[in-house]
Amino acid sequence: MHDSGSETIVSVTGGRVRGVTRDGISAFLGIPYAAAPVGPARFELPTRVAGWDGVRDAVEYGATCAQAPCPAPIHALIGSDGVAGDDYLNVNVWTPDVGGSGLPVLVWIHGGAFVRGSNAPPTYSGAAFARDGVVMVSINYRLGVSGFAALAGAPLNRGLHDQVFALRWVRENIAAFGGDPGNVTVFGESAGGMSVAALVASPPAQGLFRRAIMQSGNGIGVAEAADAQLVAAALGERAGIAPTAAAFGELGPDRLCEIQNAVAAELMVNPDPARWGASIVGRGLGVMSLFPVIDGELIEALPSDVLAAQPDRSVPMLAGCTAEEFRFFTVPAGVAADITDQTLPALLPRYGVDPAVAKVYALNRPGASAADVFNAIITDVLFRDDTMRIAESVAAAGEPMYVYDFAWRSGIEGLGACHVIEVPFVFDQLAQAHRLTGPNPPQSLADEVHRAWVDFATHGDPGWARYTVDQRAVRILDAPASATVSDLRMDELVALRASRTV
């Protein structure tokens, strides 16, 4: 008989919340972990949520930070987020045992290039993690102008401050859901993966989690403060106001989105370092305009440099990429069709790569098109190169380090093993992702990948060989069978590193 659900009430910071228990899993959705950041408070540090009387319903997903819909080709694959409302600094919690204790905890940080996304897509449901004995939390944080514009009179990295604040909320409240505040693993993908790298390296985040999982991230996606101010100046120009927190605090969320989108489009069309700053163009690669900034507090330097220089910052990590990340950005948009043997040599220097490196990648991929070679190179530039640098640093620090390469290729023509493809496997939510995976994704691979994440969160071992300084083991996650190999495509990374022009 299907369980139609029963009410469950828990006390958290702010007051009591009512969730729903169904089929042995209790879900609490849209719980505010900080005060609503609206008006001038949009550009202030997060503060404790105001208390409420009685019992607050936590049965529907909460509001999301203002954002524009994804571009149409991406929207077709993964949808867009956008629920209006003020209380958009909220968390969702799934637990198998509200009355229990000592359960492992996973805290999810969503992706979206720091300008989009939320904790509410069905693919991010924590139900399967709770089914398998893990308390899962998914967080929202400020995005775009609200979270990352370098405005005068406002602290930098407000979106990252939100993440730290949410992790503190987890430490204070997770025991009420049966979780162990001393066994928290933070995990995230894309911008969420970059956030994980920043948090591992960040002094204020030390001690808020025991382990970390970085999916399709890097530790280089941070801007210099002076360059971020150039972007803020452009935002102010577009809005006809000074680039200050006071002036921007007068604008509504729709107007903020409009300005943000216009500046992002201008940057993509004309990624001129003289206008935007070398770190915005070089580290955002013309794709990101609003992202974390070196502030000397949360972010002292490039997170991957910090981890290399300060071994004590390392924690046990699981990290990896998909084998063909960048196809997600070029194939659906039709850009891949314009990359030819003639245009490739002109494209690569825009990403700081000597075109000569293309020969190494092409030799390893007989019959590959120029677009295939381009996507392989930029996958490494944006994701794999720095993921492996972080793996080398964590392993050298003596911490357990596990690396994966997600190689299963989507059933959707041309996507391959693209960005985001591993996410529904991690969450064991394949039924929610057929627009991305195609109609018949292998459940056996979801069983394996999801179990690896559960095991890592529970006891720190996903079930394959550690990546060490001497034994550079990488788990290739694929169907019908996965395999562990050493030095995966290292010849390409060596050639790429030698070819970098920036």
Q: Mention every residue, 6+ apart, whose C-beta is less than 8 A from residue 495.
A: 357, 360, 361
Q: Which domains does the chain have, with CATH numbers?
A: 1-315 (3.40.50.1820), 321-499 (3.40.50.1820)
Whether residue 75 contacts residue 155, with contact meaning beta carbons closer than 8 Å, is answered with no
Phi, psi of 406 (to 5 degrees): -85, 110
Regarding pTM above 0.85, the answer is yes
Report the candidate in 190, 222, 235 with the shortest Cα–Cα distance to residue 297: 222
Would the pLDDT of 502 be above 60?
no
pLDDT confidence bin for 1, thresholds 50/70/90:
very low
Query: Cα separation of 132 and 153, whole Å?
Result: 46
DSSP state letter for 381: I
Residue pair 484/471 in contact (Cβ under 8 Å)? The answer is: no
pLDDT band at 304 (very low <50, low <70, confident <90, very high): very high
Neighbours of 75 (CB within 10 A): 13
Q: How many Å apart are CA 446 and CA 442, to the nearest integer?
A: 7
- What does the pLDDT look like over 418-460, one tens digit per residue? 999 999 999 999 999 999 999 999 999 999 999 999 999 999 9
Q: Measured between alpha carbons, how far is 105 from 172 in angstroms, rounded to an integer?
A: 13
The whole-angstrom separation of Cα 141 and Cα 163 is: 6
- For residue 386, what are the contacts with CB-CB under 8 A and spacing of at least 6? 218, 219, 220, 304
Query: Which residues participate in catalysis according to the annotation?
Result: 190, 325, 419
Write down the residue that tokens 């009179």 correspond to.
153
Average the pLDDT over 338-364 and give the result: 92
* Average pLDDT value for residue range 132-149: 97
| Measured distance CA(453)–CA(341) in Å, rounded | 40
**Stretch 126-155: mean pLDDT:** 97
Bridging pattern class, strands 135-139 and 103-109: parallel
User: Which carries the bigger pLDDT value, residue 457 or residue 330?
Assistant: 457
Residue 231: is its pLDDT beyond 60? Answer: yes
**Tokens standing for residue 149:** 């514009």
- Consecutive H or E run containing 480: none
452 Cβ contact list (under 8 Å, min separation 6): 318, 404, 462, 463, 464
Distance between CA 394 and CA 463 in Å, rounded?
A: 18
Q: Which amino acid, residue 397?
A: A
Confidence tier at 4 by pLDDT (50, 70, 90): low
Q: What is the pLDDT of residue 214?
A: 98
pLDDT band at 501 (very low <50, low <70, confident <90, very high): low
What is the band of 487 on the pLDDT scale with cuts at 50, 70, 90?
very high
- Among 96, 80, 118, 87, smallest CA distance to 28 is for 96
Q: Tell me which residue of 135, 132, 62, 56 sits closest to 94, measured CA to CA.
A: 135
Q: What is the percent of the chain where pLDDT is above 90?
A: 84
Give the DSSP H or E segment for 399: none
168 membership: H or E segment, kind and range: helix 158-173
Task: Please tell me the predicted confidence (pLDDT) of residue 500.
Answer: 77
Q: Could you report the per-residue pLDDT of 54-92, keeping only the tens digit for each?
A: 999 999 999 999 888 877 788 778 877 778 889 999 999
For the segment 366-425, what is each residue's pLDDT rounded down to a tens digit? Answer: 999 999 999 999 999 999 999 999 999 999 999 999 999 999 999 999 999 999 999 999
Q: Binning pLDDT at 50, 70 and 90, where does residue 285 land?
A: confident
pLDDT for residue 2 is more than 60: no
Over residues 346-369, mean pLDDT: 92
pLDDT digits (tens, 9 = 90+) for 199-230: 999 999 999 999 999 999 999 999 999 999 99
Strands 211-215 and 317-322: parallel
What's the pLDDT band for 3 if we cut at 50, 70, 90?
low
What are the backbone angles phi and psi of residue 257, rounded to the nearest 5°? Answer: -60, -45
Q: Fill in the DSSP letter of residue 348.
A: G
Is 1 in contact with 16 (CB distance < 8 Å)?
Answer: no
